[in-house]
Amino acid sequence: MGLASTLAGKPKTPQKPGPDVLSALLAVGRPLVMGILNVTPDSFSDGGQFLDPAVAIGHAGAMADQGADILDIGAESTRPYGGATPVSAQDERARLERVLPAVVKLGLPVSVDTIKAEIAAWALDQGAAMVNDVWGLQRDPTMAQLIADRGVPVIVMHNRENVDPRLEIIADVMMFFERSLDIAARAGIAREKIVLDPGIGFGKTPEQSIACIARLSQFKRFGLPLLVGASRKRFINAVTPAPPDERIGGSISAHLMAVENGAAIVRVHDVAETVQALRVKAAIDCAKEIAI
């Protein structure tokens, strides 16, 4: 089944939704922190660091203790700057099998970061609560129907195969989201189950990534929660040169600006530092309101 057939026909009636995990999370009334767990050998920031299941599960527990609201686990590197080695569904599942069930038992909502519907289905069967699709329902033609049938939330991320410095990136992201939302509607995904992510670093120049954060509020026109994952991305290096593990300051700065511009969720490697920064920002904002 190709994308054209996925788009064909009238929108389906949304399926009866499952447990309303996303609404419950958003109801806390503050920005949410999604902690990243990569069980991969080649992720751009921490590839190989959490391949050992015991280390990965321990890190997930640490992020939960540090204040993460959601844990996002991926077993295939998407490497936003290219060079990722495709992983078979069998290998991706094998990596997840040793970690995901134990992470689910920690009690936080777990998101599975995958572009394969069969992996998403398996992860949901193990207790994952949502799906993070870095190709925004536009790569695997069966993903949207799976999400609709299960009634779970989905993170729809903008992506591009190639970087084009001449592109007006905000318009490109808008058009991508419109296509993804059309696919979602035709599959029957309830709109309140969708989160939009502009895909910082994916198919973008550093300048375009910065523009997506600076102009994030423009994506609020869709009326959906926004997620920003700027953690340790290369655009930080373009502003102030540093290797990925020394970009914590830039990551926090970017996420604070993203929240200021409307982000409901930030996806981060450094949970404790981000939680602290967001709490201080909230305290200052509160004091400002009292003074007014």
User: Is 255 within the bounds of a domain?
Assistant: yes
User: Is 140 within the bounds of a domain?
Assistant: yes
Per annotation, catalytic residue among 267, 279, 281, 288: 267
Q: Residue 114 contacts by C-beta under 8 Å, 6 or more apart in sequence?
A: 74, 75, 76, 92, 120, 123, 131, 132, 133
User: Is 181 within the bounds of a domain?
Assistant: yes
Residue 270: give the domain boundaries. 20-291
Secondary structure of residue 238 in the 3-state scheme? helix
Spatial CA neighbour of 15 closest among 109, 146, 125: 146
Give residue 88's pLDDT.
93
Neighbours of 21 (CB within 10 A): 18
Secondary structure of residue 287 in the 3-state scheme? helix
User: Is 10 within the bounds of a domain?
Assistant: no
User: Is 275 within the bounds of a domain?
Assistant: yes
Give residue 87's pLDDT.
87
Identify the burial level of 13 via C-beta atoms within 10 angstroms of its C-beta, where 0-12 means exposed, 13-18 middle and 19 or more buried: exposed
Strand partners, 226: 196
User: Is 93 within the bounds of a domain?
Assistant: yes
List pLDDT tens digits, range 129-165: 999 999 999 999 999 999 999 999 999 999 999 999 9
The CATH number of the domain holding residue 71 is 3.20.20.20
Per annotation, catalytic residue among 204, 233, 247, 279: 233
267 is catalytic: yes
User: Is 147 within the bounds of a domain?
Assistant: yes
Q: 35 and 268 in contact (C-beta within 8 Å)?
A: yes
Spatial CA neighbour of 173 closest among 144, 145, 203: 203
pLDDT at 47 over 90: no
List pLDDT tens digits, range 228-260: 999 999 999 999 999 999 999 999 999 999 999
Residue 81 backbone phi and psi in degrees, to 5: -105, 15
Tally of residues, the chain:
292
Strands of the 130-133 sheet, one edge to the other: 194-197, 154-157, 130-133, 110-113, 70-74, 32-38, 265-268, 227-228
List pLDDT tens digits, range 72-103: 999 997 755 555 578 899 999 999 999 999 99
Structure tokens at 196: 């939009």
Q: 32 and 69 in contact (C-beta within 8 Å)?
A: yes
Please give the Cα distance from 169 to 173 (Å, whole number): 6
Count of structural domains, the chain: 1
Give residue 80's pLDDT.
57
Give residue 13's pLDDT.
46
User: Is 13 within the bounds of a domain?
Assistant: no
The rounded Cα 287 to chain-centroid distance in angstroms is: 31
179 is catalytic: no
The proportion of the chain whose per-residue pLDDT surpasses 90, expressed as a percent, equals 83
